[in-house]
Amino acid sequence: MKKLFFLLSIFLLLLSTVFYAQEKTIQDKNGQNECLNCHKSDENLPDDFKSYDVHITAGLTCADCHGGDPTSDDEDIAMSKKNGFVGVPSRKDIPQFCGRCHSDFKFMKNYRPEVETDQVKQYYTSIHGIQLKKGDKNVAVCTSCHTAHSILPPKDPRSSVYALNVPATCNKCHGDKKLMDKYNLPSDIYKKYVNSVHGIDLLKNKDVTGAPACNDCHGNHGATPPGVSSIVNVCGTCHVNNYNYFKASKMGKDWEGDNDYHGCVTCHNNHDIKKPNDSFVGVGDDALCSDCHDKGDKGYEEAKKIHQELTNLSTLYDSAKVKLIKVKQLGMDDISIGFMLKDAHQAMIKARTTVHTFSSAKVAELTVPGIKIANNAIKKADEEISDYHTRRYGLGAATIAILILIIGLYLKLKGLNKPEA
């Protein structure tokens, strides 16, 4: 019982130390923060107040943002304009309010030197910032995305701007149908994104380093919808080879500055991008090429050839994979076949990327060698399978021969031991 009491005492002591540490982080430089004391006693703390807020943990207090005298428990003195009290800033003033520190390089260097100090400047180049200057109070400001009193660094999973949380954060406004209708904007972007190849990779597979969230394409503080001339460049920041092939192609050059065709989104869409497959190319029911190209067009024929090249390689590759599985099951040598298949797969990946040249000849430069490798893999697999059966039959024949020999020896020995008449 004494041991239990001792452990409980230690636990309570540690717990009180934690609470004390949290309280200390939100005291002013002189050890006082009457703002907190009053607001806590009145149960009037901001709804989103969290003691782990990045400003609190950095040693900043309520007064560092809101002004006033945090050492006084007299409301008139503590919240006096004479003492610089600001209170709750108006929505239109929030960017400048935050910018007092975040635009000050010397100040930020003392706390978070890696944080850019041109965020406010970027913000006013965005659609949000431009509209705010025009008096639009509905647009997003700093607190719309970052919150006011529970701000955390973007790398913290609890942060509203952590990669996994960004789509939901943007959706708070962009999923509001009534709000979006005022601007003639769609409100189903989040629903489309969630089921897209990017959304699945980010939200389901938790790929926070490879899969793009809203801000990866639209920007952060300078958030702007990619224009006609920049869509290809935006996609190209990740899809480099696709970008280079497209820009160098005749189609890419013909589409430059053409408002009727928007590069990547014409075939892939934007927020509801599906995982591509070979059926996208060609003239079949699921093909995208036939949306623009009619039978008899040069583009129609090229699409047909490209699809055939991809099909030839993928069919052989799949056959070789089946053969490899069989070889492994039989316990035969699969190492060289495995390496061949890796090379064939690499050729297939490159060929699919080369589709963005819209040239069957360039695609064939990769599929033809890939087909050769796949054929060699199939040939090697067949040899291993044949060798297995040869060994098996050979073992059977040898077993029968040995058995006959044993029987013959047995009969011979039996005859030798038989007594003479």
| Number of domains comprising the chain | 1
Output the pLDDT for position 30. 45
Output the pLDDT for position 419. 65
**Which tens digit of pLDDT belongs to each residue from 341-358?**
999 999 999 999 999 999
Closest CA to 230 of 266, 260, 268, 256: 256
- As a whole number of angstroms, the distance between CA 98 and CA 117 comes to 11
Q: Which of 7-11, 358-362, 403-407 has the weakest average pLDDT? A: 7-11
Output the pLDDT for position 14. 52
Provide the 8-state DSSP code for 188. Answer: -
Asked if residue 343 is part of any domain, the answer here is yes
Tokens in use for 369?
């060698």
DSSP letter for each residue of 237-273: TT-HHHHHHHHHSHHHHHHTT-TT--THHHHH-STTP
Task: Say whether pLDDT at 420 is over 90.
Answer: no
**Which tens digit of pLDDT belongs to each residue from 194-211?**
999 999 999 999 999 999
Output the pLDDT for position 28. 45
- As a whole number of angstroms, the distance between CA 199 and CA 186 comes to 18
**Which tens digit of pLDDT belongs to each residue from 97-154?**
999 999 999 999 999 999 999 999 999 999 999 999 999 999 999 999 999 999 999 9
**Which tens digit of pLDDT belongs to each residue from 169-198?**
999 999 999 999 999 999 999 999 999 999
Output the pLDDT for position 346. 98
- As a whole number of angstroms, the distance between CA 152 and CA 121 comes to 21
Output the pLDDT for position 87. 84
Output the pLDDT for position 21. 41
Asked if residue 339 is part of any domain, the answer here is yes
Query: How distant, in Å, are the alpha carbons of 34, 39, 54, 62, 225 from that of 68?
Result: 11, 14, 21, 9, 40
Please, which pLDDT band fits residue 9 given cuts at 50, 70 and 90?
A: low
**Which tens digit of pLDDT belongs to each residue from 296-344?**
899 999 999 999 999 999 999 999 999 999 999 999 889 999 999 999 9
Task: Say whether pLDDT at 67 is over 70.
Answer: yes
Please, which pLDDT band fits residue 388 given cuts at 50, 70 and 90?
A: confident
Asked if residue 17 is part of any domain, the answer here is no
- As a whole number of angstroms, the distance between CA 231 and CA 290 comes to 23
Closest CA to 282 of 321, 249, 310: 310
**Mean of the pLDDT values across residues 71-98?**
88
Return the axis-axis angle of helices 240-248 and 335-354, rounded to nearest 10°.
50
**Mean of the pLDDT values across residues 237-255?**
92
Asked if residue 372 is part of any domain, the answer here is yes
Task: Say whether pLDDT at 260 is over 80.
Answer: no
Asked if residue 382 is part of any domain, the answer here is yes
Say which residue the tokens 């297995």 belong to.
388
Please, which pLDDT band fits residue 22 given cuts at 50, 70 and 90?
A: very low
Mean pLDDT of the chain: 88
Closest CA to 377 of 404, 399, 346: 346
Most confident of 47-61, 247-261, 359-373: 359-373
Give the HSE-up count for residue 78: Cα atoms under 13 Å, Cβ half-sphere.
17
Contact 330, 384 (CB under 8 A): yes
Question: Which domain does 324 fall in, by range?
Answer: 310-358+365-417
Asked if residue 216 is part of any domain, the answer here is no
Task: Say whether pLDDT at 32 is over 90.
Answer: no
Asked if residue 322 is part of any domain, the answer here is yes
Asked if residue 326 is part of any domain, the answer here is yes
